[in-house]
Amino acid sequence: MIGRLKGEIIYKKPPQILIDVNGVGYEVEAPMTTFYELPEAGQNAILLTHMIVREDAQLLYGFATDGEREMFRHLIKINGVGPKLALTILSGISSAELARCVSDHDVISLVKLPGVGKKTAERLIIELADKLKLFPQIEKAPPDQSGGATIARVNPLLEAESALISLGYKAQEASRMIKAIDSKGLSSEQVIRLALQSSVSGK
């Protein structure tokens, strides 16, 4: 199983990353929390990975921290939460806020995430309650993760809208979320971050 990748980022198109490791390109899907920590294309980065092998595919999911990966692994063990929904949850809410929702039995905040209904939110709270001790380490980044300046991309709003749709939002909703924020001069990842924050906070 592939547990870690270190190499050059070829492209970043949320939720997908292509990373070159010694001449081999690995396609990885990652939550937005990981995208926020990654440098720009052309720079080196480290991804901790979780591999899922199916009859029709071998899928890699990447994370900036070990705690984030552990959270993903706990989420996909919950009935009704597959990898796509787990990425959506980790993209729309921080690990610390998810821990707070679980601790406070805050169903209202969880159901604001796309694909999370009341029953799923209640199931998340029940099944994650005994794993709160793992959450603090989620915020810690690996020591040799590369940094990089954020730069504007071509059509960042279209890229952001496409990413939100990939994360489970309907096209009209994704468009509304982007129009509701001041996106001038922002990269696609910054637009996504603000749109997700506004959606969860209800602003």
How far is the C-alpha of 156 from the C-alpha of 123, rounded, in Å? 36
* 176 band by pLDDT with thresholds 50, 70 and 90: confident
CB of 29 within 8 A of CB of 35?
no
Confidence of residue 141 (pLDDT cuts 50, 70, 90): very low
Look up residue 162 and give its amino acid.
Answer: S
Q: Which domains does the chain have, with CATH numbers?
A: 4-63 (2.40.50.140), 66-139 (1.10.150.20), 156-201 (1.10.8.10)
Alpha-carbon span 19 to 27, nearest angstrom: 7
State the pLDDT at residue 133. 59
The predicted model gives 50-73 an average pLDDT of: 90
pLDDT digits (tens, 9 = 90+) for 95-115: 778 888 888 899 998 998 888
Q: What is the pLDDT of residue 203?
A: 54
pTM beyond 0.75: the answer is: no
Dihedral angle computed from the Cα positions of residues 84, 86, 89 and 92, in that order, rounded to the nearest 10 degrees = -50
What mean pLDDT do residues 110-121 have?
A: 90
- DSSP state, 112? T
Mean pLDDT, the chain, integer: 82
Residue 61 in contact with residue 72, Cβ under 8 Å? yes
